[in-house]
């Protein structure tokens, strides 16, 4: 018994059923490539013209356009470039913060009193607490001692006139409370 051959309409239906999913998959891939390219170029460039051009190139040329974009795109994203710039700035700041000897400009450490290279005096000891002080400091910020030792704290000058400085504290002045309807401000006591 011979096998019946399918009719031409059956073959076209089978081909249609195979082509539709493949075409839908291809369209989804094409659209996905365009969106991926646009997102990728936005992460790598701030130029709106370059962003639109890259997406248009992939939209028109599809896979070859995507390969061309991959060859021409910037190596690093904007976030990576920003992080690299921050790292470089931190390294430069670290280098600049290192102390140098004023005599020979070689690096020194914070706890050195004398430069081992040129023998320049870098710091002095506090006579009371023994901590290191900068040469230009006249008081120790740690214990408050002065150049000859002992605590020498500066005093705050009084704001009283010279004739009243020895009189001691001024007595409290009674001021009348303003009444609720009184808009006038209290007058200052002329003896103060």
Q: What is the pLDDT of residues 102-152, one digit of tens each?
A: 889 888 888 888 999 998 888 888 888 888 888 888 888 888 887 665 555
**Distance from C-alpha of 100 to C-alpha of 139, rounded to nearest angstrom:** 24
The per-residue pLDDT for 145 is 80
**Percent of residues, the chain, with pLDDT higher than 70:** 75
Mean pLDDT computed over 62-66: 90
Whole-number mean pLDDT of the chain?
80
pTM of the full predicted structure?
0.45
The residue ranges of every structural domain in the chain are 17-80, 99-154
- E strands within the chain? 123-125, 132-134
Of 98, 103, 126, 129, nearest to 114 by C-alpha is: 103
- Of 63 and 176, which is predicted with more confidence? 63
């Amino acid at each position: 018994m011979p096998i019946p051959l399918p009719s031409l309409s059956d073959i076209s239906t089978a081909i249609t059923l195979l082509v539709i999913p493949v075409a839908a998959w291809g369209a989804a891939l094409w659209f996905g490539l365009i969106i991926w390219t646009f997102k990728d170029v936005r992460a790598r460039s701030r130029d709106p013209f370059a962003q639109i051009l890259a997406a248009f190139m992939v939209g028109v040329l599809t896979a070859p356009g995507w390969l061309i974009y991959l060859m021409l795109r910037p190596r690093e994203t904007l976030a990576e470039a920003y992080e690299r710039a921050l790292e470089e700035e931190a390294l430069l700041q670290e280098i600049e913060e290192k102390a140098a000897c004023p005599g020979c400009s070689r690096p020194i450490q914070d706890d050195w009193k004398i430069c081992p290279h040129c023998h320049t005096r870098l710091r002095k000891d506090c006579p009371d607490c023994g901590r290191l002080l900068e040469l230009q400091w006249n008081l120790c910020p740690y214990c408050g001692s002065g150049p000859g030792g002992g605590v020498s704290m500066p005093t705050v000058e009084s704001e009283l006139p010279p004739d009243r400085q020895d009189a001691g504290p001024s007595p409290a002045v009674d001021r009348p409370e303003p009444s609720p309807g009184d808009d006038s401000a209290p007058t200052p006591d002329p003896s103060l």
